[in-house]
Amino acid sequence: MPNDPNLLPSNEKKSRLSNLLSFFNDKNEKMEEGKFMRTSDKVSELIDQSQFISRDLSWLKFNERVLDQAQDSKRNLFDRLKFLAITSSNLDEFFSIRVGSLYNYLDYGKERIDYSGLREVPFRKTLMRALQQYVSSQNQCFKDELLPLFKEHRCRLANMSDLTDKERQKISEYFDRTIYPMLTPMLYDYTHVFPVLLAKVLILGVITQTTGTTSEEDRKLSFVQLPLNLPRFYVIERDQEILFLPIEHIVRAFIKKLYRNVDIVSTSLFRIIRNGDFSLEENDDMEVDFIDEIKQKIKNRRLGRVVKVEVESDVDEDLLSLLKKRWEIDDYNVYRAEGLLDYTCLWQLIRHSEFKDQIPPLHSPVPPLSLGKERITDIFEVIRERDVLLHHPYNNFEPVLQLLEQAAEDPNVLSIKLTIYRLAKNSRITEALLTAAENGKHVAVLFEVKARFDEENNIREAQRLQKAGCFVIYGIGLLKTHTKLLLIVRNEGDKVVRYSHLSSGNYNEDTARLYTDIGLLTTNEEYTHDISEFFNVITGHSLPSDYRNLITAPRQMRERLIEMIRNEAKNAKKGLVSGICIKINSLEDRSVIEALYDASQAGVPIELIVRGICCLRPGRKGLSENIRVRSIVGNFLEHSRIFYFHNQGDPLVYGGSADVMVRSFDRRIESLFILVNEQVRQETIMMLDYNLRDNVNSYELKEDGSYVKCKIKPGEEPFDIHKEFFEVKIEDVNKAILFVKQDSELIEEHAETNNVDDSVDE
């Protein structure tokens, strides 16, 4: 386990900097080349033989698909920079959570076997090598492909040597006035403990020595953290070009002002990522203790063990050796940048007023098909008349916001109940709930304060609601509440009507413009009864009866999905038409994957649309020959979850919040809702059909775990769902169909190829 960052080992307390900077070889990592190759070959063979694809290696393949967008020459420079920035933020979270989780096993001597079949130690090496290759691809993309394009757009990344005397004088004034007061050198020697360095912050490691001396023993080491609340780039606008000068260049140029009367031997820029993966202990105390525990875990995350160090290519090697020893890491954890450290800073360029119109504008949302061009004046009246299926971002999120805002002001509304996972900044959802509470309505909110990296914002917003008189539930024990449900109860004279919204996405008006999601607005009593039951269970001490239209986790979801998969296998074995089509973010649960393998072997055609992680291995002879997997990555983030089972021509179609993951089934409160309205169900089938037809944003997963970009075949027209969904007409919906083989064709093919009887192995 790594050393406490606030404590110096006793044998270091009296050492000089020269000793602190001594290099300690890790003999366990030094292997002869021949032995390394033999081990590498065995690892590759073991991975290839596994029936499952590693979750973490699969995620890395997903981020490669995002990087592919940055490498797409058909996109303009700023669009490509956007995707490169996204890959960088994705990678930060991956190191913090997934690599952090792996180190929870390594540091505490716990056993872990990856889906690839590798134990924790060899898997770490395999994963880290893959990550090194990925970071190298990022650097190559920026340095060789994107940076040369800057001059075409009258901009460039500048060095101090590029500045005029007048510009340098302005920079000097900016440093003195703004940057200098925020900098604090933190010395590390035998009288000063090693400082706590923050994650995701640019840090300069500075080695100094007294002027006039040459002895290495006289050297001192200190750290300077660059302020996070200042722009990464100082912008200089010339008549013919715009210069973006990184803040680290400015600090380096004037760092002598922090170290007077000493010589600066070297300055090395680096950045660290810490383990951010934490779990909560079961606690029977009051909810205030639960919130305190969350807050403490957030603090602990800031002190977590270091899992990644990004350094400049010319980093001082002695400093690097010290950091590796200090944090008990090795070369696998060190990533050398060839351009910028932390490509998320590129958002400043992208959003600069000169270039922000270079990002392709978002298409204006179109009305839901069930509404046509009718203008909504009374949202309650609309939902009473019909079920409304919303498909974001192609349809506006406004009907959901309008429903909540109208309910908050309507004197006939009695109560509002809602689950919240992530909110927008300056959320209209929060404001509507506050207004409702002020107007005397009963407002109950299940606020998931464990939503990763949104914990602090969620706690703050939840406490605002609680102070206004809302009934707030801070999650359910160790389970994360990930379901998305809304229930509004309204007195309408001779009866009380319940209005509900069921969704795959968060109640977040910002992400609703960028994430694809589906939502259903309805007064159907079977839905509203189920949602009422659901809220009674989570807000009180109640055990649910069977829901009519909901499948929930952790209670029954895995079993129900497997049951429907097996039913398709049963139909295939009888020679009946069968088919499964599932669109999700991630596919990882072993039991469901094995059920899909069994269904494939029974002859069920299976189409899977999995944006990110996919641990299922398609197309393997004798295992998964009837399974095809595609991933769609493009201008919108695919976030919808849709489950389709052919069911002998009477399809069962579900939407909802859950992915096919162990955490979704066992550690989260999730829900899937069946689509009972025939027109709504047909709209959802059309969505799946369009996803399978896309030939612009799609990648196909191969049996070896690699992905291949789908190409437009000769004679085909481009079909880009991120454009086509804005143009959908009702006739497009009505003609959509999945698994079009006729029963007679399937029976004949079944007899020729499978030769199985009608019995079913349950």
The answer to whether the beta carbons of residues 220 and 209 sit under 8 Å apart is yes
Query: Hey, is 545 helix, strand or coil?
Result: coil
What's the whole-number average pLDDT of the chain? 88
pLDDT digits (tens, 9 = 90+) for 375-384: 778 899 999 9
The answer to whether the beta carbons of residues 59 and 116 sit under 8 Å apart is no
In the chain, % of residues over pLDDT 70: 87
Q: How confident is the model at residue 452 (pLDDT cuts 50, 70, 90)?
A: low
Residue 190's pLDDT is what?
A: 80
Which has more confidence, 511 or 1? 511
pLDDT digits (tens, 9 = 90+) for 564-620: 999 999 999 999 999 999 999 999 999 999 999 999 999 999 999 999 999 999 999
Q: How confident is the model at residue 762 (pLDDT cuts 50, 70, 90)?
A: very low
Residue 295's pLDDT is what?
A: 58
- Bridge partners, 476 (sequence order): 479
Query: What's the rounded mean pLDDT across residues 391-398?
Result: 96
- Quick check: do 10-22+45-356 and 552-753 share a fold? no
In this model, does residue 50 exceed pLDDT 50?
yes
Residue 235's pLDDT is what?
A: 97
In this model, does residue 454 exceed pLDDT 80?
no
The answer to whether the beta carbons of residues 479 and 669 sit under 8 Å apart is yes
In this model, does residue 687 exceed pLDDT 50?
yes
Q: Which of 310, 360, 358 is nearest to 150 (CA)?
A: 358
- Residue 511 per-residue DSSP state: G
Q: How confident is the model at residue 299 (pLDDT cuts 50, 70, 90)?
A: low
Say which residues have a Cβ less than 8 Å from residue 77's Cβ, sequence separation at least 6: 146, 149, 150, 152, 153, 358
pLDDT digits (tens, 9 = 90+) for 644-659: 999 999 999 999 999 9
Q: How confident is the model at residue 450 (pLDDT cuts 50, 70, 90)?
A: low
Q: Which two tokens stand for residue 198?
A: 């923050």
Residue 39's pLDDT is what?
A: 58
Q: Which of 699, 686, 700, 690 is nearest to 720 (CA)?
A: 690
CATH numeric code, 379-547: 3.30.870.10
Burial of 557 (0-12, 13-18, 19+ CB in 10 A): buried
Residue 145: other Cβ atoms inside 10 A: 15
pLDDT digits (tens, 9 = 90+) for 330-383: 999 999 998 799 999 999 999 999 998 888 888 899 999 888 776 778 899 999
Q: How confident is the model at residue 733 (pLDDT cuts 50, 70, 90)?
A: very high
Q: Which two tokens stand for residue 468?
A: 């206004």
The domain defined by 10-22+45-356 folds into polyphosphate kinase like (3.30.1840)
Domain borders along the chain are 10-22+45-356, 379-547, 552-753
The answer to whether the beta carbons of residues 248 and 287 sit under 8 Å apart is no
In the residue annotation, 722 being an active-site residue is answered as no
What gap in Å lies between CA 21 and CA 598, rounded to an integer?
58
* CA-CA-CA-CA dihedral for 729, 730, 734, 737, to nearest 10: 30
Which of the residues 482, 639, 646, 722 is marked catalytic?
Answer: 482
**pTM for the full predicted model:** 0.89
Say which residues have a Cβ less than 8 Å from residue 152's Cβ, sequence separation at least 6: 77
What gap in Å lies between CA 164 and CA 382, rounded to an integer?
64
In this model, does residue 563 exceed pLDDT 50?
yes
- Bridge partners, 337 (sequence order): 312
Residue 742's pLDDT is what?
A: 41
Residue 213's pLDDT is what?
A: 80
Long-range residue pairs from 678-681, CB within 8 A, at least 24 positions apart, any chain: 679/370, 679/387, 679/733, 680/370, 680/387, 680/389, 680/520, 681/651, 681/653
* Class of the domain covering 552-753: alpha beta
pLDDT digits (tens, 9 = 90+) for 148-197: 999 999 999 999 999 999 999 999 999 999 999 999 999 998 888 999 99
